[in-house]
Amino acid sequence: MPNASELVEAARAARANALAPYSKFAVGAALLCEDGTIVQGCNVENSSYPLTMCAERNAVFSAVASGRRTFSAIAIAGPSDARTSPCGACRQVLIEFGPDMTVYYTVPGGVEETTARALLPDGFTW
């Protein structure tokens, strides 16, 4: 099973595929699935800006599309000088797949560790 630093490295590697010509803010994500598979994602921007999709959601949706629905952790990597904690929309998507999911995200000089639940207290569930 991949460990935390391998997951963060996979997120950093996924940044290379980011399509971010407008913001120039490349983000990579790496989702650890129950079966040990790592599914990567990157942000994909669009000239109609709101259509942009974040790296985290691309990773989650790609994993679901490949038949995986149970996740234990996600790592998110942004530029080395930024705190790249997940946006509100991605937090909502993450808690849907498990409030206990560990979330790692890069910050200047390091990596923060938290959970989906801690990132979105009292998030919507139905």
As a whole number of angstroms, the distance between CA 114 and CA 8 comes to: 14
| 72-107 burial code (b ≥16 CB/10 A, e <16) | ebbbbbbeeeeebbbeeebbbbbbebbeebbbbbbe
According to the binding rule CB under 6 A, does residue 87 interact with ligand THU?
yes
CB of 93 to ligand THU, least distance (A): 10
Applying the rule CB under 6 A, the residues between 36 and 65 that interact with ligand THU are: 43, 45, 52, 54-56
Applying the rule CB under 6 A, the residues between 102 and 121 that interact with ligand THU are: none
First to last CA, the chain: 32
Of the two residues 4 and 20, which places its CB atom closer to ligand THU in the complex? 20
Q: Quick check: is 56 catalytic? A: yes
Query: Residue 56: which residues within 8 A CB-CB, separation 6 or more?
Result: 27, 29, 41, 74, 76, 86, 90, 93, 94
**Catalytic one among 6, 9, 34, 56?**
56
CB of 95 to ligand THU, least distance (A): 14
According to the binding rule CB under 6 A, does residue 80 interact with ligand THU?
no
Write out the catalytic residue numbers: 56
The contact set with ligand THU (CB under 6 A) reads 20, 23, 25, 27, 43, 45, 52, 54-56, 86-87, 90
